Structure 1
C-alpha cells in the first residue's frame, strides 16, 4: 500500500517537468516554483516554522479538495515521514496481516484531508492523529477477531490469537468498557508512540490541561481495572464454614480467622516486593497459634450448676476450677 503511494509520488517528481507548488503563495518558501521533493525537504528542515508548514498544508489540501488526483497523491507523498512511523508502531508486534492496518492508516489520512479545519494550527499533526485512530481501530478489530481456520483435509494447528502486542491490554480494557477507543488511542499514542501530549491536544482541539486530565482519568480507571481483583471467587463462592453462629468452627472450638480482600491484596504485593517488610504486616492471629501466648495461660471454666453440689465453707458456693495449661 505505502510502496504504491511512494512509487506514485516518485513519478510526480521525475522528469523535466515535476509537479511544483507556487512558492510566492506560501510565506517562508522561495518565491519561485518549488518541486514537491524539494518542498518535502524544506518542510522537514529544523528552520522551517510552524506557520510555514500550516500555510503549505493549507495550499496542498485546498488544491487536493478542488482538483483531487495529483494533489491528493502529493499530500500522501509529503506525509510519508509521518504515516510510516504510525503504521510501523501499530504493527510492530502484530502477527496477523498488516496490509489491512496499513490501508486503514492511509484511509484515515485521506478522510482527514477532507475533514480537517484549515483555520486551526498544526494541520499535519491533526492528520496524523486521524490516521492513527483509524489504524488503531483496525488493529483492535483484528485482535478481537477469531483466528481463521481453513476447512481442508490436511492442515496444521490453527494459528494463535495475536498476542504480545503492547496495545492488547488497552484493547481488552476497551472491550470491558473501562475506557473508550479514543482514550485508548490517546494513551497508546502518547505513552507508547512518539506523539507528545501537546500535539495530541492540538489534534483533539483541546487545551493541554484538558487533554492531560482526560488521559490521567483514563489511566486511573485502567490502573484500577488492572490491579483490583476481578472478584473474590476463592472466598465468596466457597461455602461458609459451619460456625454455629458463635464465630467458632463447630466441633473444634477454634475461631474462624478471615482475611479481607484488601488485606490479601496488600499482603501479596508487599510479600512479593519485600519479604522483610511483609513480616511487619499485622495478620489476624488465632489465639491457639504457637506464638499467640494465649494457650500458655489458664482459662476459667464456668461454674457448675448449684443443684447437686455441696456448698463451700461458710455456706459459700464452691470456687471455680482453673483449667490446666494446654502445654
Structure 2
C-alpha cells in the first residue's frame, strides 16, 4: 500500500545517519533494513526517524511504519497463531493494537527500536489470549458434563512435547529431561543411550532445564501444536548437540571390524561385515527458523505462515564391502 511505488512515502538518506544519500521508498527501505549487511545502529536510527515522522505527520506515516515492520509482525503472528482460541483476525488486531500504542509512547533512546515495538504487540496479544481463556474456563466449569481440558494442557509430558515442537529443546533433551525427571531412569543409563558421559549429561540437563524454565515463564510453549507434517516414512531428525556423540559412534563403527560370518566372493573367502545404520539421535521434529509451529496462519498480508517441512537426514555406513550414503 503506502510502502509501494509509485505513490509511496519517501525519505532521503541525508536525513538519517548511515543511509546512502538518495531517495528511499519504504518498500526499498524495508529490504535494506532486513539485510544482514545493514548495521544495527543504522536500523535503529532509521526507525527513530520513521517514528518521529509518524508522530508528527499523522496516519500515512503510521501505516508506513506498520508496512516496514510487516515481516517482524508476521513472524510474531505465526508464533502466536497455533492454539489461538479465536479468529486469527482478532490475533492480528491485538498484535497491531499493541504495536501502535507503543509507537506513540515509546522512548526512542534505547536500542532495538523495531524489536521493542513488536514485543509490545506480542504482549498485548498474549494478554488478550489469557483473558479469553480465563472466560472459557469459567464457562466450562459451569457445564454438567465431562469436557476436554482447556488448552494449554499442563501435564509435564505435554509441556516437554510443546517445548520440543517450538525448538526450545531438542529430541535428545526431551529424552534426557523426561526419562530422568519424570520416569526416574538413572542419569547414567540415559547418558549411555545418548552416548555421552554422565557428567556431560548432568551439565547438559541443567542448561536445557534453565532454557525450558525461561521459555515457560515467557509463555513460549503455551500454544504450540505438537503435530507436524512429515515427508516420507521417516521422522525428521533435529540438528542438536548430540550430533557430536553420533559422529563418535560413527567413528567407532568404522574402526570396528565386527566379523560375524564368512562369505565367498569370486572364489575367495572374505569376512562378512553386516550393514549398520546410525541416525543422528532419536527421532524427533524440529521446526526451523525461529517460528515454525502449528497450522498455517493467514492474516497480516496475503502470505501463508506455516510450519516448514521437516528435514530428514540418515547416515548409513558399510565398510570393506560397505557403502556410505547421505540422502
TM-score, with structure 1 as normaliser:
0.44
Higher strand share: 2
Instruction: Tell which has more relative contact order, 1 or 2 (C-alpha 8 A, sep 6+).
Output: 2
Larger Rg: 1
